[in-house]
């Protein structure tokens, strides 16, 4: 390991204990762990973190949509420097994605308060209420509310698997949907988010940290192949209009396009469904998803366009029709150059091994960056695992990230 910088006291045992304590909330022996927005487990997790904030001497508040803040008031007031992440998880998720960023932010700010007292500029540990969007399909709802991008309409149209709307979920935890606009902030100076890499690059290269230069562009789409339903036995191969064969051709070609473009371009089909779905029937309708990503804007556009052309060409070869529904489309988002430089300088000063790298997963930072200077700091993910109970980062690989985060916050809030 690289040497530990400075004299700032970071209690590694406390950070590990908090990882474990929060990580126990939401466990279900059958369904796995899930902290879903506005669920009892989410309420319990938020209450636990709020208690830790108050123990650290931070002034806490919950905004109109459930985002949690722990504030260390600056002598000069003014716009606040925010640091944190989210605690909600995907179904059967782990205890590091998002949550580690909250633990790191709290540890860094608490250590700065103990060592240096009141900052010149206000610091706030921020717990985003909903990043994953796994309950209501409401990606980045918490940060979008902070930035002023969330809409009242989605509170009534977004529903969970039981038909509960977001508005109903809010009311069940004591929040008023009519106050959504009050979550918007106009007093933010910067956002810095620590996160696990969610990939294996840092571990494979023996590096301590990654400093994100760009968050990937991502397009998610649902492709519906309209073919002709026929008998699987009596319909000759050369007489079929086979939806599954056409879909397979599209999926294979899209994967090859991403492979030919090379890293970091990726394409994934995570879901496929045939209708009527009987072994003895040539499917008349096949629906599948495509998730396309690249961190370079030009390459991202090329990837999406080339796959669209390949899908259409395959449809013509197989004599099928296509319906394509875009579910998400986010262009690559660059992180703030000045904040990147601060993180890089502090990582180098501490003697840590780091690299500038893209994030191939989406994060709240890409929303915050649309309004304020934003940055991300990665720590390694063991075996690149994420969105699984197997995600893990040893505490000795967490602490360098906490130290560099604290050093950057010191420069922004105490020294500048």
Q: Give pLDDT tens digits for 209-249.
A: 999 999 999 999 999 999 999 999 999 999 999 999 999 99
Q: Before 170, cis peptide (omega within 30)?
A: no
pLDDT above 80 (res 393): yes
Measured at the CA of 35, the angle between CA 293 and CA 23, to 5 degrees, comes to 100
| pLDDT at position 333 | 97
- Cβ contacts of 222 within 8 Å, gap of 6 or more: 287, 288, 289, 324, 325, 327
Each residue's pLDDT tens digit, 259-286 = 999 999 999 999 999 999 999 999 999 9
Q: How far apart are CA 160 and CA 89, in angstroms?
A: 15
Phi, psi for 2 (deg, rounded to 5): -70, 155
Architecture of domain 12-215+332-415: 3-Layer(aba) Sandwich (3.40)
Handedness of CA 125, 129, 133, 134 (dihedral sign): positive
pLDDT above 60 (res 3): no
pLDDT above 80 (res 5): no
Q: How far apart are CA 161 and CA 142, in angstroms?
A: 20
Each residue's pLDDT tens digit, 82-107 = 999 999 999 999 999 999 999 999 99
Per-residue pLDDT band at 297 (split at 50, 70, 90): very high
| pLDDT at position 1 | 34
Report the b/e string of 333-356 with b at 16+ CB within 10 A: bbbbeebbebbbebbeebebebbe
| pLDDT at position 106 | 98
pLDDT above 70 (res 2): no
Q: Which residues pair with 377 in a beta bridge?
A: 194, 211
Given a contact cutoff of 8 angstroms between Cβ atoms, the answer to whether 310 and 254 are in contact is yes
* pLDDT, averaged across the chain: 96
Q: Two tokens at 61?
A: 């508040």
- % of the chain residues with pLDDT over 70: 98
Task: Give SS3 for 222.
Answer: strand
Q: What is the DSSP letter of 238?
A: G
Each residue's pLDDT tens digit, 230-240 = 999 999 999 99
Neighbours of 397 (CB within 10 A): 20
Each residue's pLDDT tens digit, 338-389 = 999 999 999 999 999 999 999 999 999 999 999 999 999 999 999 999 999 9
pLDDT above 60 (res 13): yes
* Mean pLDDT, residues 115-133 taken together: 97
Domains 12-215+332-415 and 217-330 alike in fold: no
The closest of 74, 96, 194, 91 to 137, measured between CA atoms, is 91
Q: Where are the domains of the chain?
A: 12-215+332-415, 217-330
Given a contact cutoff of 8 angstroms between Cβ atoms, the answer to whether 11 and 108 are in contact is no
Each residue's pLDDT tens digit, 395-405 = 999 999 999 99
pLDDT above 70 (res 7): no
Given a contact cutoff of 8 angstroms between Cβ atoms, the answer to whether 203 and 382 are in contact is yes
More confident residue, 32 or 184: 184
Architecture of domain 217-330: 2-Layer Sandwich (3.30)
| pLDDT at position 31 | 78
Whole-model pTM?
Answer: 0.91
pLDDT above 80 (res 416): no
CA distances from 6 to 10, 210, 222, 376, 385 (A): 11, 20, 51, 22, 31
- Which H helix or E strand runs over 341? helix 337-349
Lookup result for tokens 């940290």: 209
Handedness of CA 179, 181, 185, 191 (dihedral sign): positive
CA distances from 56 to 7, 191, 194, 226, 281 (A): 19, 21, 19, 59, 63
Q: How far apart are CA 185 and CA 124, in angstroms?
A: 13
| pLDDT at position 112 | 97
Q: Pairing mode, if any, of strands 68-72 and 281-282?
A: unpaired
| pLDDT at position 228 | 98
């Amino acid at each position: 390991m690289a040497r530990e910088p400075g004299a700032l006291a970071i209690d590694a045992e406390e950070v590990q204990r908090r990882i474990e304590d929060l990580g126990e909330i939401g466990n279900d022996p059958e369904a796995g762990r899930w902290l879903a927005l506005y669920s009892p487990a989410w309420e319990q997790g938020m209450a636990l973190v709020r208690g830790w904030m108050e123990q650290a001497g931070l002034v806490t508040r919950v905004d109109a949509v459930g985002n949690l803040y722990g504030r260390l008031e600056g002598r000069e007031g003014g716009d606040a420097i925010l640091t944190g992440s989210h605690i909600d998880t995907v179904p059967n998720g782990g205890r590091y994605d998002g949550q580690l960023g909250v633990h790191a932010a709290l540890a860094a700010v608490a250590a700065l308060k103990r060592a240096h007292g009141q900052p010149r500029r206000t610091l706030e540990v921020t717990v985003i209420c909903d990043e994953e969007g796994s309950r209501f399909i409401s990606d980045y709802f918490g940060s979008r509310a902070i930035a002023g991008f969330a809409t009242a309409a989605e509170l009534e149209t977004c529903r969970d698997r039981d038909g509960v709307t977001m508005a109903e979920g809010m009311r069940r935890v004591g929040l008023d949907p009519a106050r959504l606009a009050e979550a918007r902030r106009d007093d933010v100076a910067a956002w810095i988010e620590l996160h696990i890499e969610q990939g294996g690059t840092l571990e494979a290269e023996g590096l301590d940290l990654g400093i994100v230069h760009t968050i990937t562009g991502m397009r998610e789409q649902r492709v519906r192949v309209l073919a002709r339903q026929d008998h699987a036995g009596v319909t000759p191969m050369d007489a079929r209009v086979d939806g599954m064969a056409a879909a397979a051709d599209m999926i294979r070609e899209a994967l090859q396009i991403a492979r030919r473009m090379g890293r970091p371009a990726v394409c994934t089909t995570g879901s496929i469904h045939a209708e009527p779905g009987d072994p003895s029937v040539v499917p008349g309708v096949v629906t599948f998803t495509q998730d396309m990503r690249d961190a370079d804007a030009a390459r991202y556009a090329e990837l999406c366009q080339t796959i669209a052309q390949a899908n259409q060409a395959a449809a013509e070869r197989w004599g099928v029709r296509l319906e394509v529904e875009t579910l998400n489309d986010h262009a690559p988002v660059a992180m703030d150059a000045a904040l990147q430089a601060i993180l890089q300088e502090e990582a180098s000063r501490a003697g840590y091994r780091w690299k500038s790298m893209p994030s191939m997963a989406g994060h709240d930072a890409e929303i915050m960056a649309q309004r304020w200077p934003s940055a991300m700091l990665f720590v390694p993910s063991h075996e690149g695992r994420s969105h699984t109970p197997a995600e893990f980062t040893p505490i000795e690989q967490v602490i360098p990230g906490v130290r560099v985060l604290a050093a950057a916050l010191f420069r922004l809030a105490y020294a500048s």
